[in-house]
């Protein structure tokens, strides 16, 4: 195990997960995003690539405001994204971590255990061939990690319930989870 946290902390986390199954975090969703900053034919090709890689139809994202310096108008499609859950998310993550060599930075984890990384070239993902018409696209991959029971913040009934900090996922737990599931090494 190559983690930047002490081994006794790792064993404490694993022991806690065994004793209390509701404390073991899980991957809630994986969001894959390709942002070009402009629309047109290249954005449609990016959507086609994203659908081929993930196996799910992507959604176009619009600009929130006009930025004249970049030539972006409010309401114009400038990015494409897809949200993966459960088995599709795990299958995609296996390919995505292989593309980055199963290495990640510990600083890419936020205070609530969510993790983000980038893939510089989509052709690094196994099974994807280079197409000169499309070119090379980079993408962002964001993992939302939560414990069972976190749904009470999103449900319709009694939404004002409070999630205590002890039930939030820590960065250390995210490192241990990803190392266990995919063999990711953190620097």
Q: What predicted TM-score, i.e. pTM, was given to this entire model?
A: 0.87
Give which of 52, 7, 10, 58 is closest to 32, Cα–Cα: 58
Angle at 149 between CA 147 and CA 20, to 5 degrees: 60
Across residues 153-164, what is the average pLDDT?
78
pLDDT of residue 2: 62
| Full strand arrangement of the beta sheet holding 26-35 | 59-62, 77-84, 26-35, 139-146, 115-119
Provide, for the chain, the percentages of residues in helix, strand and coil under a 3-state DSSP scheme, each rounded to the nearest 5.
Answer: 40, 20, 40
pLDDT at 53 over 70: yes
pLDDT at 1 over 60: no
Phi, psi of 145 (to 5 degrees): -115, 130
Give pLDDT tens digits for 173-185.
999 999 999 999 9
Give pLDDT tens digits for 71-120.
777 878 888 999 999 999 999 999 999 999 999 999 999 998 899 999 99
pLDDT of residue 74: 83
| Rounded CA separation 170/184 (Å) | 17
Helices (H), the chain: 7-19, 41-54, 86-99, 171-182
Query: Where along the chain do its domains lie?
Result: 7-186
- Residue 62's pLDDT band (boundaries 50, 70, 90)? confident
Q: Pick 7-186's CATH classification: 3.30.1440.10, 3.40.50.1100, 3.40.50.300, 3.30.540.10.
A: 3.30.1440.10
């Amino acid at each position: 195990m190559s983690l930047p946290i002490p081994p006794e902390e790792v064993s404490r986390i694993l022991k806690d997960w065994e004793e209390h199954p509701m404390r073991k975090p899980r991957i809630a969703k994986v969001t894959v995003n390709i942002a070009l900053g402009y629309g047109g034919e290249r954005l449609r090709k990016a959507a086609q690539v994203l659908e081929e890689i993930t196996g799910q139809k992507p959604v176009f994202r619009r600009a929130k405001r006009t930025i004249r310096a970049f030539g972006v108008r409010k309401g114009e499609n400038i990015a494409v994204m897809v949200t993966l859950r459960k088995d599709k998310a795990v299958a995609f993550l296996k390919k995505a971590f292989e593309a980055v060599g199963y290495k990640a930075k510990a600083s890419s984890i936020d205070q609530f255990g969510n993790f983000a990384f980038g893939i510089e070239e989509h052709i690094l993902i196994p099974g994807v061939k280079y197409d000169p018409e499309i070119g090379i696209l980079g993408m962002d991959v964001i993992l939302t990690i939560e414990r069972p029971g976190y749904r009470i913040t999103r449900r319709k009934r009694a939404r004002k319930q409070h999630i205590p900090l002890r039930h939030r996922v820590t960065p250390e737990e995210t490192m241990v989870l990803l190392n266990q599931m995919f063999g990711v090494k953190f620097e």
